[in-house]
Amino acid sequence: MKISVIGLGYVGSVAAAGLASVGHDVLGIDINAEKVAAYQSGNLPIYEPDLADLMEAGRRAGLLRFATSDEVSEPLGDVVIVAAGTPPKESGGADLSQVKACLSWIMERQTGLEAILVKSTVPPGTGAKLHETVLAGSSIEYVANPEFLREGYAVHDWFNPDRIVIGGGEKSQTLLHELYVGMSAPYVFTDITSAEMIKYTANAFLATKISFINEIAVLCDRLGATIDDVCEGISLDPRIGASALKAGVGYGGSCFPKDVRALDEVALTNDHNFELLRSVITVNNRQKYLPFYALRQRFGTISDLTVGVLGLAFKPNTGDIREAPAVSLIQQLIDDGACVRAFDPKATDAARKALPDGVTYTKNAMECAEGCDAMILMTEWEEIVNADWKTVAARMNEARFMFDGRNALNPDSMRKLAFEYHGIGRPSKVPKVNSAAPSLSDQHS
Ligand code: UGA
């Protein structure tokens, strides 16, 4: 098939390279000339494991090309995939302007086109409306085809999908089997709005699991129970499972925070108060500041402290800092006068642009620890988890306060190295710092 993919972010770039790898003739399109040039030269503008090699193979086979939207003069092919961004608006709702602009652009060049597949995450009801308006009178099929790729594992997830969700008419079923040739995942064929709802429901449910376990972790801290054991105990129930149950400083990234807020807005505009979702958001907003509360409780004042932050990306294996808990935390530490040192294997450049001057960026955990009173692990990069902790301890000031915001380290090993270790829902034995949320009385005072 000849396919055009519009929007070369995490989803579009992986889709383009993945489809070329099974023999489709793919043109990747973006309005951003710098981005297009980067893909053409093989110098990817994003860090995503295995993507560079996959793209290189596609380019060599002559099946993957890139162009800016201004440069495109050829027909767009049998299918166009829309993977434009849907960033959050002030109100929390999704900004659909990029998706709408893509559709209008496509409709001006639609010769021979059979279907438009929308992978962008759009609020339920959007596709049906666009089908009736932008595509009115045309025989082109509108297909909602949400993606479930995780950043950092996107290439792996592309080739090993749990499911392929397709919202559209009958023609879309044949087309999609042809498009996803060789993929052995279960197909869910449904209407456009239900397909869109599946995407939001999946992300909102996963976010709910994370906030739920974070609330349980707070209680574990209060009661002296250990969240790791609690999780093991519940996850053996197949109805619960083990995924999205890692307590920590909360979910970040370009998806969960945005999609949960957007679903909340969809609910409100449809006259429904989705209270559970509101709580998910509130709990998540709190989690990223837990290390700050713990520091305040332990040291009283923050302004005399030098704090090392390990991990800036919203999760490991990505350079993405969008809605990263570490960014909010560092901002708070700086506002309260702390000296901040930081380390991340891939996200330093992005963080430099987002954070105020004054943060000292370092090359590894050991360098980061130099002269620190406290270290806070915010992202569980393998390189950070497996750091030389003995050297880290030796380079820190006497307090050796360690807040493990992802429960990624072994508390006993850390304590043996003379760290004052605190996790989330892993009550510490010496000395007691309530690392969890401020108590009810604090919150109301
Ligand atoms: C998420 C979904 O997992 C994908 O299925 C979906 O396709 C994607 O959003 C999207 O909508 O495009 P992603 O944002 O890449 O993928 O990252 P996740 O691995 O799901 O993690 C999201 C956040 O939750 C991270 O900050 C992570 O640290 C946090 N998290 C995750 C937890 O705090 N605890 C957990 O148990 C799992």
Q: What is the CATH number of the domain that holds 239?
A: 1.10.1040.10
Q: Which residues contact 213 (CB under 8 A, 6 or more apart)?
A: 227, 231, 244, 245, 246, 247
- Mean of all residue pLDDT scores within the chain: 94
Q: Are both 74 and 164 inside the same structural domain? A: yes
User: Which residues are part of the catalytic machinery?
Assistant: 255
CATH of the domain at 57: 3.40.50.720
**Residues linked to residue 266 through DSSP beta bridges, in sequence order:** none
Q: Are both 172 and 31 inside the same structural domain? A: yes
Q: Using CA positions, which residue lies closest to atom 7 of ligand 1?
A: 148
Pocket of ligand 1 (CB under 6 A): 121, 147-151, 203, 206, 210, 244-246, 248, 250-253, 255-256, 314-315
Q: Are both 277 and 319 inside the same structural domain? A: no
The single-letter code of the amino acid at 360 is T
Q: Are both 323 and 383 inside the same structural domain? A: yes
Centre of ligand 1 from the C-alpha of residue 256, in Å: 7
Q: Are 213 and 207 in contact (CB under 8 A)?
A: no
pLDDT of res. 440: 60
Q: Are both 184 and 207 inside the same structural domain? A: no
Element (H, E) at 319: none
- If one counts the domains in the chain, the total is 3
Domain-terminating residue out of 143, 174, 190:
190
Q: Which structure tokens are listed for 363? A: 């090359």
Q: Are both 316 and 431 inside the same structural domain? A: yes
pLDDT of res. 235: 97
Q: Are both 236 and 323 inside the same structural domain? A: no
Q: Are 175 and 114 in contact (CB under 8 A)?
A: yes
pLDDT of res. 431: 47
Q: Are 84 and 122 in contact (CB under 8 A)?
A: no
Which mutation among 145, 150, 205, 379 tests ligand 1's pocket best, with the greatest number of atoms within 8 A of CB? 150
**Residues linked to residue 4 through DSSP beta bridges, in sequence order:** 27, 80
Task: Record the pTM.
Answer: 0.94
Give the Cα separation of 180 and 21 in Å (integer): 11
Q: Are both 27 and 175 inside the same structural domain? A: yes
Domain that holds residue 344: 288-442
Q: Are both 307 and 413 inside the same structural domain? A: yes
Domain-terminating residue out of 190, 206, 235:
190
CA 67 to the chain's CA centroid: 27
Q: Which residues contact 151 (CB under 8 A, 6 or more apart)?
A: 10, 48, 253, 254, 315, 317, 318, 320
pLDDT of res. 172: 84
Q: Are both 142 and 228 inside the same structural domain? A: no
Q: Are both 325 and 265 inside the same structural domain? A: no
Pick out the chain residues at pLDDT < 50: 430-431, 435-436, 444-445
Domain-terminating residue out of 269, 285, 301:
285
Atom of ligand 1 nearest to the CA of 210: 34
Q: Are both 114 and 153 inside the same structural domain? A: yes
Measuring CA to CA, how many Å separate 188 from each of 19, 69, 167, 173, 352?
20, 32, 8, 10, 43
Centre of ligand 1 from the C-alpha of residue 154, in Å: 11
pLDDT of res. 443: 53
CA distance between the termini of the chain: 63
- Provide the sign of the torsion angle of the four alpha carbons 196, 198, 203, 205, taken in this order: positive
Atom of ligand 1 nearest to the CA of 121: 11
pLDDT of res. 136: 87
Residue 132 CB neighbour total at 10 angstroms: 10
Centre of ligand 1 from the C-alpha of residue 275, in Å: 22
